[in-house]
Structure 1
Amino acid sequence: MKIGILITGHVHESLIGDFGEYDGMFERLLAGHGFTFESYAVVDGVFPENVHACDGWIITGSKHGAYEDHPWIPPLEAFIRDVARAHVPMIGICFGHQIIAQAMGGTVEKFSGGWAVGPQSYDIDGENMMLNAWHQDQVTQLPPDTQVIGANAFCSNAALLIGDSILTIQPHPEFNREFTQGLLTYRGPGSVPQDQLDKAQEALSTPTDSARFADRMARFFKEHSK
């Protein structure tokens, strides 16, 4: 099964040498599940030929807002709707979660409650999962035909099932401890309040459930593939 990775942002220049781009993080996250991968830098205007170019799709995180005026966002939204109509399985992470919700009729906004950074606990289908987060924007209005399957006190729409073939999640299962440390060092200062950075730093050694969520992603792709 070939998974197409739609890259919607680039890794910070201070981190890319050690960690590579976001597509590599997802390839490592899903290693061992029998997938092959192909990447498309949609942030640079590179799009797949059609929705059937791959058997499933991942939309990555990004420093950009889903509501921002970038030339690649309207065609990405159109592609998302085409994928949904074709019932090809698709998973969105952070920005991917947001842009899918927006494309399908929901609303994304800069959250008045501020940032979530570092390890966060979520209730996902009745299970507690600890995952690294890095976001200020949130899905504030759901699209039609959407089920909320994950939330916490800070983010009420943290994981969604949209229609019959789309799974989205606000935090980052692909972010490991070392990469999150890099974000705290290079991306956080001047953007995220210092007290939140300090708390995230203190919590950084908390084990996450990235592998468990990766298993869920793999099952979702396989169960919804044609």
Structure 2
Amino acid sequence: MKIGILQTGHAPDELLESFKDYDVMFQNLLGGNGFEFETYSVVDGVFPSGADACDGWLITGSRHGAYEDHPWIPPLEDLIRDIHARKLPLVGICFGHQIIAQALGGKVVKYDGGWAVGRVEYDMGGEKRFVNAWHQDQVIDLPPGARVVGGNEFCKHAILAYDDTIWTMQPHPEYGADFIEGLIDTRGKGVVPEDQLQKAREELRKGPTDSPAIAREMAEFFKKERA
């Protein structure tokens, strides 16, 4: 199965050598499942020939806002709608979660309640899951057909599903604790309140995340048989 990674941002230059870019993080996260990957750096204007270029799709995170005026956002939204119309499996993480919701009729804003940073607990159908987060933007209005499958008090629409073909998540299962610490050092200072950054560092040391389980579920989502 060929998974097309629609890359909508790049890791900070200071972290690239140690952690590689976002597409590689997802390849590592989903490795061992027999997938073939191809990256399309849509943030740099590189797009696939169409929705049928791959068997499934994944949209990465980004430092950009889904509501910002960038020339690559409208064609990305068109591609999302085409993928949805063809009922191909699509996963979105962070910015991917947001741009899919926006493309299908939802609303994304810079949340006035502040940031989610580091190891965060989410309720997924009564089950507690810990996932690393790094975001201020949120989906506040759901698009038609979306249903909430996970969230918390701060981010109620953190995990969404659309029929059985689209699954999206606001936090980052591809981020390890060391990468979050790198973001705290490179992108957090002067942007996220210092006391929140310190608390996030402390939370990172309290235990692992549930990324391995989420990775298995993502792989199963891509592979599942659909009518």
Instruction: Name the TM tier (shorter chain).
Output: over 0.9
CA-to-aligned-CA distance 1:128-162 (integer Å, 9 cap, x gap): 11000000000000000111001111100000002
Please report how far the alpha carbon of residue 82 of structure 1 lies from its aligned counterpart in structure 2 after TM superposition. 0.2
User: How has the CA–CA distance of structure 1 residues 51 and 225 changed in structure 2, closer, same or farther, with 3 Å as cutoff?
Assistant: farther
Could you tell me which residue of structure 2 aligns to residue 195 of structure 1? Answer: 195
CA distance in 1, matches of 2:66, 2:100: 9
User: Which residue of the partner structure matches residue 132 of structure 1?
Assistant: 132
Take 2:117 and 2:186, find their aligned partners in 1: how far apart are those partners? 13
Counterparts of 1:69 and 1:116, CA distance in 2: 24
Whether 1:169 and 2:169 are equivalent positions in the alignment is yes
Residues 1:223 and 2:189 aligned together: no
Structure 1: give runs of 5+ residues left out of the alignment.
none
| Distance 1:224-1:179 versus aligned 2 partners, 3 A rule | farther
- Please, what TM-score do these two structures have when normalized by structure 1? 0.98
Residue of structure 1 equivalent to 2:16: 16
The structural deviation recorded for 1:225 is 5.8
Aligned residues: 226
SS at match of 1:149: strand
1:96 Cα deviation from its structure 2 partner: 0.2
Does residue 151 (structure 1) correspond to residue 112 (structure 2)? The answer is: no
Superposition deviation, residue 224 in structure 1: 4.8
Percent of aligned pairs with the same amino acid:
59
**TM-score of the superposition, structure 2-length normalised?**
0.98
Alignment partners' CA distance in 2, 1:132 and 1:225:
30
State the Cα distance separating 1:126 from its structure 2 match.
2.4
Output the amino acid matched with 1:219: E
Q: Offset at 1:163?
A: 3.3
Aligned: 1:208 with 2:209: yes
Residue 29 of structure 2 aligns with an amino acid whose one-letter code is L
Which residue number corresponds to residue 36 of structure 2? Answer: 36
Give 4+ residue runs of structure 1 displaced > 6 Å after superposition.
none
Deviation at 1:32, TM superposition (A): 1.1
Give CA deviations for 1:54-96 in whole Å, capped at 9, x if unaligned.
1100000000000000000000000000000000000000000
- 5+ residue gaps, structure 2: none
Could you tell me whether the CA contact under 8 Å between 1:88 and 1:224 is conserved in 2? no
Output the aligned Cα RMSD.
1.0
In 2, the alpha carbon distance for the partners of 1:224 and 1:212 equals: 20
Shifted more, 166-175 versus 178-187: the winner is 178-187
Aligned match of 2:6 = 6
Deviations 1:154-212 (A, max 9, x none): 10000000233100000000001111110011110010000100000111122100000
Distance in 2 separating the partners of 1:112 and 1:137: 9
Q: Which residue of structure 2 aligns with residue 104 of structure 1?
A: 104
Q: Does 1:178 align with 2:178?
A: yes
